[in-house]
Every structure is written in C-alpha cells, then in structure tokens.
Structure 1
Amino acid sequence: MDRQNSQTFNPEHLLLVDSMREHLADVLKPCHTNEYLFRFLKAQDYNVNRAVEAFVSTMNWRKKNQIDSIVETAQEDPYLRVLRNFWPGRFLEGASVDQIVYYEDVGVLDIKHILSVIPHKYIIKYHMYMMELQEIERRRMHQEQGCPISMIIIYDMRNVGTKHIQVAGFEILRELAKIDEEHYPEFLDKIYLVNTSGILSAVLKMARLFVPEKFVSKIQIGTGNLLSMLSISSLPSTIGGTSTVNFSFCGSLNYYDIFPDAERVTIGNKSHHTVCQSVDTPGSILDINFVSECNDIGLTVSRQKAEEGSQGEDEKIIFPLKRFNSHVNAVSLQVRASKAGKYAVRFDNTYSTWTSKCVTYKINVLHPNTAVGSDAITDST
C-alpha cells in the first residue's frame, strides 16, 4: 500500500483505505493518494463499499466530462479563456500553509447578464476547471506539508442586493454544490460570508431550497477567526487585510470579448438566414454559438443533398427546428458530422409575423479529436 504521509491517519483508517485500494486496484492512478481516497471514505461515513461506489462514479463522471484534460485545454476554449480574466475570484497566495484560500467578490456578479453572454454549461465547466486547479495545488501542498489540505472560501458580500436573488443563479449554485459534494468530497472546510447586509437572510433562505444542508452547514457569517488564522498581508483591505494586490475585476462582458470576429445579422419577419459550412473530415464538429437581442430565434442543422446530377442522399435534418430563448441564455451547440460534405445552419424566424430578429453568431468546424461535452449531437447517418 502507498504509505505516503500515513502519519495523518490512524491505524483503523489506514486499514479501510487499504481495503479501498484492493477493490480499486484496476483503476487507481498515481494521483490517487491515501489522502484522496480517504476523502471519499470520510464522505461515506467510513463505509468502504459506499466509498468505492462513490469513487467509481467520480471516475466515470471525470471520463464523461473529460476532466483530466480540462486544465491543459482551457486556453483553447474561448469561454474559459474569457471567464479566467472576468470572473471576480482569485486564490490568495501565501494565506496559509495548510489551506487553500479562495476569495470572490460576489457583489460585482450580474448572473442574469453573464448567462446572456456565457452559456450555462460553460459556467459549470469553469467551476470544474477551477476545482481541478485546486486539486493540483492541493496535491502539491500535501506533498510539501505532509498533512491533509482543506479549502476555505471567502465570499465578499458587499454590494449584494436584490438583483442577486435570481432563480437561475441559485440553480447554478445547486448544480455546483452537487458536483462538489459528489466528486470533490471533503474538500471544502468553511465558507465565510463577509461584509454582509440585511439582504443576507433572504439569500440564505433561498439557498437552503437549492443546495444540500451539508453545504449550508459550512457557512459562517462574518470573519470570525479568519484574520487570526490567515496571513493579513495576503487578504484584501475590504476584509481587514493589507494586501497590495489589485483586487479589481473586469466589470463588463460582451459577446465580442469571447468571439471578436462574430458575425451579426438581422433576420426579417417570416424569413431565415442560412450559414453553410464545408466539412472535409468525417467526425468533425460543428461548433455553433449564438445570442439574440430582445427575442428568441429558431435553429435547425442539416446535411445538404449531393450536387445536381451526382449520386447521393437527399438533405438530412440532423437537428430539427427548435426555438431558443437566446436573448436570455447564450447558446452553444456542438454537432458531430459523421460524413464529409456541406452542412447548413439555419437561423429561423419564419414563425414571426411581425418581428425581425438580430442574431450574433460564431460557427466553427473543429477537429474530430476536439474535446466536447457529453451533450454533443451526433449526425447518426
């Protein structure tokens, strides 16, 4: 058995971890240290069978969502690239030798606006990316310190108001809390809500409807012993620290920040706009991204029929007509093309009797090996 830092576990815990290793011998990797396995064990109340099931479930989830490559491919993802610069949160370096400390200025977030520019699934993906960065840092610190590493989150609640009480925001919070509880167990130690206001009680009341009680139980109002526990020089002045780091963040975000060469078109009432894309390599991915202004828009994707006089099938609908509220939620759709040929992406406004629609879009043809989400649509020929 890997006895790395075994002094952090009592003999009984080591025996349970050993038992987990025996059950998981065929799937374990070098990064699956005793400390990592123990987190699953502790989350399942030291029941080895349940811990093994939870671990296997997490490995399947990681494979399905291509988590192992998410850090190295983040720079290639236009949404993650922008979110890394935009999102109002950062790790506080040097704050603690045995804890990862993350600070987020919640008050500057406008979730309604963010969702109108960034698709929901990429906000979730960004969270996965950040959790993986923390796992990497956790392993590094654990190797250096020789003791378990926990995580503290500081949410700065100044400027939080009624605009932050959004159902969409709480639904995202619920999804993130579920991911953390199931796939990053026993990572989060404490959540500090600082610079709180009278709106906090309403926020917490709403939160209890969306997230597990175990998550809520880790919340502490105010700084508590935070300032005595962490290095003051690493904390922002808004919570009593003396750090000279600039904690200001990008305030505005628009679609051209993500896709500078996005195209904008006005589609008349009872009309449509078709974008044709040539696919040379079978298995390539049509990456379709768009937003609209003020109103919804329809979309359909088809593979075009062969040219006149040649042998081939008729036009095939791959993605049937669907109306998207893309003026509220940005859309990102991936379609895997099983055959080479010409594909048509059609923005449809034929159902609108009176209203023209403005659509901003970016469509790419990606290499077959490009990592895409499990929700990608396959042209099943």
Structure 2
Amino acid sequence: MTTLTQANAPLAGVRIADFTIHAAGPFCTHLLSQLGAECIKIESRTRPDAFRKPHAVYGRMSAATFDQVSANKLSVRLNLKHPEAVALAKRLVSLSDIAAESFRPGVMARLGLGFDALRECKPDLVMLSLSSCGQSGPDSHFSGYAPLFGAWGGLGWMSGYTDGPPMEMRHVMDHSAGLHAATATVAALHQRRRTGQAQHVDLAAREVASAMIGDALLQASAGETPVRPGNTHPSMAPHGVYATAQPDRWLTLAIRNDTEWRTFARVVGGTAPEDSRFATAGGRICHRDELDAMVGEWLASRDADAIVGELQQRGVCAHVSWNMEDVAGDEHMRSRNALVDVSAPGIPPRLAVGTPASFSHTDAVGIRRLTPELGQDEDYVFGELLGLSTAQRSDLEAREVIL
C-alpha cells in the first residue's frame, strides 16, 4: 500500500483527486499534501504536467520546479479524452474529499467532470477551481500565466520605483494564488464537516493580486492617484535596500523610530547627524531622498555581513538580502526542515522548499516522499482503491484509456 496519510497529521484522512497543472493549482494541492492529505495527481503520457519538462525560457534544463509542487503526491495516468477514463476519474473522485482543477473555465464540464457531474458521484464533495479570472463574469474565458495575474489585478502597476515602469510578478503570483486556494479549500472542508454540504471553491488568481493592493484601491476610490512606492514605507525612513562594499551584496534596512535612527547613525555614520531634518520620523520621511543618498554613502564602504551583525546586536532591523546560495546553505532553515533534499529516478538529489509551519501536537508535516514518476502509483490507486485487476488494467492500457 502506497498511501502517505499520517494518522495524526492535520489533514490526515483527506484524499485529493488532483487535476491541476503547471504551478498555481499544483502548489495549492502541494500545501495540502504537506499537511497530511493524500494527493493523487492525474496526468497522461500525452499531456503530462508542464513542469515535468525542462523549460529553456526560464533557464531550467531539468524539471527541478516539479519538485516544488509535486513531492508527496501519488501519480496515475488517465486519458481524459476517453469516456472510460472519465468514468474512472469519477470513481476516484467518489473516494476522495477534494477534487482540484486549474483549467480554463468550461474544460472540466466539457470532459464530463464539472462540479454538478462530480457532485453526483460524491454528494459532499469539495471542489476547487483555480483559474485566471474565475468561473463567472465577462472575463472568465481568458487564460493567463503568473505575470498576467499581477498585471491584470493591479499588483504589477503598484510594484516598482515611482519613476520607473511597473514590475510584473512571476512565480510569486502562482504561489500566492495557490496559498489562497489552499486556505479556501480548508475552510470549505471545515464547513462540510459541520453541514455535510458540497462546496465549489472558485478562485481567480487575478483577484488575488487585487486583494494585495487594497490600500491603493481605497486611495483610487477616494479620488487620489496611488503611486508605485518602490522600497519606501509610509511611516519608516530610512527603509530600503542599499548597496555595500561587496559587489551585489545588498543590505535591507527598516528604521522604525527615532531611537533606532540614532543607533543606526552612530554605528554606520560615526556620529548622529546634527541636521534637524532627520531628527524625527516625520522629518526623515519628508526628506527621504536626501536621507537615502546619505545612508547610501555610509553603506557603500561597509562590509554587508559585518555591519548587519553590529546592527542586529543593537536592535536595528537590518539584514543582507540573501541570494539563493545563502538560503540553500543556511543551517537554520535545514534544522527546521524548511529546506529538504528530494530526488527522483535518474535525477540527482536537490533542495526543495519544505513547509514553513510546524505543529506542536501532530505528526511531522512537510515533504515525506520523492517526486513521483508518471504513473508510478497505479498499483495502489487502480488496484487497491478502484479494485481493477491486472487483466483489466492491461486491457485499459492497450486501448489507451490508461495512457
């Protein structure tokens, strides 16, 4: 038996029929799997998940990203263009708690796997549909990828420097949408346990982007014109990212009050400046440009890691903006299983992101098994769960129902 459910994990006993593809939807089900849910990923040889493939545009010549959204999952093959495969998918859904999909609206219904059809198989089903613009509304037919979510939702416009262009979001939008979807799905599960009712969760990634800029939308509704804030903060200064003596070694700084400002100035600038413009938070914000220029000059000759140590000891919020080598080599992250090693047949071990949450009274959560090969769990899913014999499965493979 291949089931991965842990008896005391937060989502122990929950099973997901996972039809999601690419990043946002798979990240949602990946989060749920890390919390203990058994997640069965449904693909086919002719239509595997895009993240199984190298992606030269992203500079990824091996399928490393697949580890970040599919470790823990079980894998089966179903050719959903075939009616018998659709029937098997419905049987699998009938044994599941959640069905998750991230196709363009209407695709699942055309396959015979829409919410109404699946609810007939599983009357208390929780179904998640994650798409660009949602299942309803005049724009629901639009598809999109991560940069479009942020651009369309307004987050891209609000990201970047005031005097520069919008900075469009990439994977952060996929993962933000996936996180929102996971939260909504858990809420729907909770409601089902209270009421026994089915629930269709309709999440639009574009709306997730808009939810992140509520303050700017409020300004716009009041007749103001929001501007891109760059690295500034409305009540803190200095607040930003500054170059240091080492090439591409940047220091991130947030000064919260006048005491921290005086401490910072003594450590970095030698003595607190006598200029009254910077004595109070209001003055520093009013003269932010001059302040940033002065702080930039102070830090340009300093060793980033050394100065961070001094500032942290004195209670000033500062840290080097770590590159990926810094993060990958961090013992703190590894000690908390926030970084774990994963592998797959024919692929060397490599790092994947674990769960950033830990639970004091449950079994360990996080990545519990390697990334699955396509179809590697069919003995368990088709054999044990669905009760298909070896002869039946061979016949289905021969007729490309299982493909």
TM surpasses 0.5 = no
Q: Which protein is richer in strand relative to its size?
A: 1
TM-score, normalised with respect to structure 1: 0.22
